[in-house]
Amino acid sequence: MEKTKKISSVFAVFAILLFVLIALAFYTFINAKGISYLSNSSEACNNCHIMNDVYAAYTKSSHSKKIKGEAVATCGDCHLPHDFVGKWIAKAQSGVAHAYAFTFKLNDLPTNLSANAKSKAIVQENCINCHAEMVSNVVNPTTNIHAKNNSLSCVSCHAGVGHSRGF
């Protein structure tokens, strides 16, 4: 009988912790306008104050200009892989990391976000994919863009194209 009480007490503590964890996740998702991240809208990237300057610069860039009501390129078009699985994996990784930081590391948040090596490679690949015809004389689109060398990237010369802060 005592063993049963112990098991049910452990189960009750586990259930309460699970409920608290789910409640925190739900709160974070609602507070961060999480449903908006399921879209391809650039406005979703401006949900947090860290992105205000970058988003304002994007709205003035050539990529934000609308043709038939759609932006030439959204934030996701430049910063996410274009294949379906890769895009959603990157969104999930970024979303979990941002949710964790905004929930547990508010005092450590940077003033601005900076691209990591993986993000820079994605942007380079997307620049080439969208502009391959235009830059085919300058860039060999079959070049391994993930090589760890000091070759130029598109944003080396065109740092302010998407938004003025570069990365």
49 marked ligand binding residue:
no
146 marked ligand binding residue:
no
Q: Which of 39, 32, 153, 155 is nearest to 101 (CA)?
A: 32
118 marked ligand binding residue:
no
- Residue pointed to by tokens 């689109």: 141
130 marked ligand binding residue:
yes
Residues in the chain: 167
79 marked ligand binding residue:
yes
CB hemisphere CA count around 147 (13 angstroms): 9
In whole angstroms, give the CA distance from residue 51 to residue 15: 37
51 marked ligand binding residue:
yes
Q: Which helix (H) or strand (E) holds 9?
A: helix 2-31
In whole angstroms, give the CA distance from residue 123 to residue 7: 52
105 marked ligand binding residue:
no
75 marked ligand binding residue:
yes
Convert 19-72 into a string of H (helix), E (strand) and C (coil): HHHHHHHHHHHHHCCHHHHHCCCHHHHHCCHHHHHHHHHHHCCHHHCEECCEEC
Annotated binding-site residues for heme read: 45, 48, 51, 75, 78-79, 127, 130-131, 154, 157-158, 163
Annotated binding-site residues for a menaquinol read: 87
Annotated binding-site residues read: 45, 48, 51, 75, 78-79, 87, 127, 130-131, 154, 157-158, 163
